[in-house]
Amino acid sequence: MRIAGVRLQPPVARLLADILEGAGFGDTSAKITEAIRLKVTVEAPLTADDYQAVLDVLNRTCPPTLYRLHRELLDDQRYIRRVTGA
C-alpha cells in the first residue's frame, strides 16, 4: 500500500498500525489494517485527520522503517502551510 505516496510493505504497514493503536488512534489503525487485509496496492483510503494522526505519532516515535513516510508527511505539511499561508 501507499501512504502519502510512500510504498509500505505489509510488515511495515502493520508496524504503523500497531504504533497508531498504541497511541490511541484506533480508527486510523483499523483503516490501515483493513487496507492490508484487502491487499490494497494504491494509496490507502485515509482522511486528512488520519494523515495528521500518522504524523503526530511519527513525530513522537519514528522507527527507521517509517522514516521516509515521516519525512514525506512533513514535506507535505510544509508545502500546505506555505501555499495556504497557515
Taken in order 14, 70, 39, 33, the sign of the CA dihedral is positive
Q: What predicted TM-score, i.e. pTM, was given to this entire model? A: 0.89
pLDDT of residue 85: 81
Quote the CA–CA distance of 34 and 30 in Å, as a whole number.
6
Q: Write down the domain spans for the chain.
A: 2-84
Tens of pLDDT, residue by residue over 14-49, are 999 999 999 999 999 999 999 999 999 899 899 999
pLDDT of residue 27: 96
Judged on CB neighbours under 10 Å (0-12, 13-18, 19+), 17 is: buried
Tens of pLDDT, residue by residue over 41-69, are 899 899 999 999 999 999 999 999 999 99
